[in-house]
Structure 1
Amino acid sequence: MTKLATATATRTLVVDREMSHPPEKIWRALTQPHLIEEWLMKSDFKPVVDHRFNFRADWGSVDCQVLAIEPNKTLSYTWAAYGLESVVTWTLTPTSTGTHLRMEQAGFQSEEDANYKGASYGWQKFLGDLELVVAKLD
């Protein structure tokens, strides 16, 4: 008798954005708690691999752990809330006019359509707010 393994399909949400700012400025907004709070949520984030932190809002919180950090280039952390177990990865690539920012949230199960749609809407708003925060930085 042959047993077939069933693979669970997961989806990844990808948001790409061109920003007219250098990676260093965007990195500050991605990694400094007082700036993160301005565009995303309150947090006790520290740019240290394995650091456990959470994002807090009036609706609840997100439990996270830093997975990877390459200053001004890559930041990755787990994102766990309301049954969703995923990984958020930020990639900054310098361009001739600023930075190509890529945000990927990987790990949406096929039955998590509402989470996927909510995240898709939410990240567009958050990234718009991120751009406003970065534009104010010196």
Structure 2
Amino acid sequence: MNEAASETKTIVVERELPHPPEKVWRALTQPHLIAEWLMKNDFSPVLGHRFGLRADWGAVACQVQAIEPNRTLSYTWDTKDLRSVVTWRLTPTPQGTRLRLEQTGFRPDQSSYYRGAMAGWPRFMADLERVLEGLD
């Protein structure tokens, strides 16, 4: 197999949010808030915690890989034959927070997952922004 065929793809979505990192962090780590913008879940912000995300289309098995409150959250994102990692990075800005989502690990033969994630994450981000608007 040539080198190019074994490379994986990454999706990056970034948003400038008019909210402090602490508020964005709550929306990323509190199960009832995650359910409002992403999926039903049994998330806990604890290193090594295994949790599931559930939607009409199926389920995602996850495990917390890295957690640095108000800065970084990373977890595996495994569904069917996709093995990937989702990483959220929060950077304080004068106006609020720059939120960066990165999902890595799409193999060349997984273009349907890649296209699905390319379409899905911007929608999830928009829902996340709506949830943040409603938080005090």
Whose radius of gyration is greater, 1 or 2?
A: 1
Amino acid at match of 1:63: A
Q: Partners in 2 of 1:34 and 1:98 — Cα distance?
A: 23
Alignment of structure 1 residues 1-138 onto 2, 5 Å: 6=3, 8-138=6-136
CA-atom RMSD in angstroms? 1.3
Cα distance, 1:49 vs structure 2: 0.4
**TM-score by structure 2 length?**
0.96
Q: Secondary structure of 1:134's partner?
A: helix
Distance 1:35 1:5 in 2: 44
TM-score, normalization: structure 1? Answer: 0.94
SS at match of 1:72: coil
1:119: how far off?
A: 0.2
Q: In 2, Cα distance between the equivalents of 1:24 and 1:120?
A: 27
Size of the alignment, in residue pairs? 135
Q: Structure 2: 5+ residue runs without aligned partners?
A: none
How far apart are the structure 2 equivalents of 1:133 and 1:22? 14
The alignment partner of 2:109 has SS state of coil
Give, in angstroms, the shift of residue 71 of structure 1.
0.1
Q: Aligned partners of 2:98 and 2:109: how far apart in 1?
A: 31
Residue 135 of structure 1: how far off its partner (Å): 1.0
> Is there any run of 5+ residues in structure 1 with no aligned partner, and where?
none
> C-alpha displacement at 1:6, in angstroms?
4.7
Tell me the distance in 2 between the aligned counterparts of 1:64 and 1:71. Answer: 18
Moved over 4 A (4+): 4-7
* 1: CA distance, partners of 2:64 / 2:2: 31
